[in-house]
């Protein structure tokens, strides 16, 4: 009789266990393998694992994975290598997402000239990589592809439907930004 009561109690408690909210992932553990790796490799790895860049700050990048509710802060050290991966709060990542969405929702963000990404981002040509990345993000672009071998990144602006091809030159600078076809960016989303 006691076993039957115990089984009944477990079966009654099971739905409550299923209804528990999902726990946030542990970025420091999940991403330990990108420590001391090059920035381009780390960015590709994060994208492959479902992360999206949400913020760039001096020497830091913050990445969000909606599926695992994980927010990660990457510290970027010498020679553009990852020096540390830290946990960041999910609310911090959501805050960055809200800021980006708010800037995309402004009417002036949609009324740009029709010259494409190359004209819209021309003021960033030949700028430092970190500065240019931060500016592109503030203008509603998100990094969708990065490859160190061909020295190239693709940035997508969903609100404007534009894809920017950003060449990376020596000394962590970008070259002249070019328009890229919509399919080039959307194939990486």
Whole-angstrom distance, CA of residue 137 vs CA of residue 35: 24
**pLDDT of 96-142, one tens digit each?**
766 655 555 544 433 334 578 988 898 888 888 888 998 999 999 99
Q: Verify that 68 and 133 share a domain, yes or no.
A: no
Which residue among 40, 72, 105 closes a domain?
105
In the chain, what is the straight-line distance between the N-terminal and C-terminal CA atoms, in Å?
57
DSSP assignment string, 24-80: PP-HHHHTGGGTTSBHHHHHHHHHHTT-EEEEEETTEEEEEETTTTEEEEEEE-GGG
Whole-angstrom distance, CA of residue 144 vs CA of residue 157: 10
Instruction: Give pLDDT, residue 63.
Output: 87
Q: Structural domain of residue 178, as residue ranges?
A: 107-189
Q: Verify that 99 and 113 share a domain, yes or no.
A: no
Report yes or no on 88 lying in a domain: yes
Which residue among 62, 90, 105 closes a domain?
105
SS3 138: helix
Instruction: Give pLDDT, residue 95.
Output: 75
Q: Verify that 76 and 93 share a domain, yes or no.
A: yes
Which residue among 105, 132, 157 closes a domain?
105
């Amino acid at each position: 009789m006691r076993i039957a009561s115990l089984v009944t109690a477990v079966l009654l408690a099971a739905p409550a266990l299923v209804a528990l909210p999902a726990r946030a992932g542990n970025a420091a553990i999940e991403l330990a393998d990108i420590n001391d790796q090059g920035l381009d490799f780390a960015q590709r790895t994060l994208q492959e694992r479902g992360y999206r860049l949400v913020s760039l700050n001096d020497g830091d990048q913050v990445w969000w994975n909606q599926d695992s509710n994980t927010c990660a802060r990457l510290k970027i050290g010498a020679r553009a290598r990852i020096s540390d991966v830290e946990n960041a709060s999910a609310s911090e990542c959501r805050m960055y997402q809200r800021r980006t969405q708010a800037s995309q929702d402004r009417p002036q963000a949609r009324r740009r000239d029709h010259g494409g990404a190359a004209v819209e981002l021309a003021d960033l040509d030949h700028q430092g990589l970190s500065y240019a990345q931060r500016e592109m993000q503030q203008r509603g672009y998100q990094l969708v592809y990065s490859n160190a071998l061909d020295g190239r990144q693709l940035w997508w602006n969903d609100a404007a439907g534009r894809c920017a091809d950003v060449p990376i030159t020596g000394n962590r600078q970008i070259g002249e930004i070019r328009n890229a076809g919509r399919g080039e960016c959307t194939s990486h989303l």
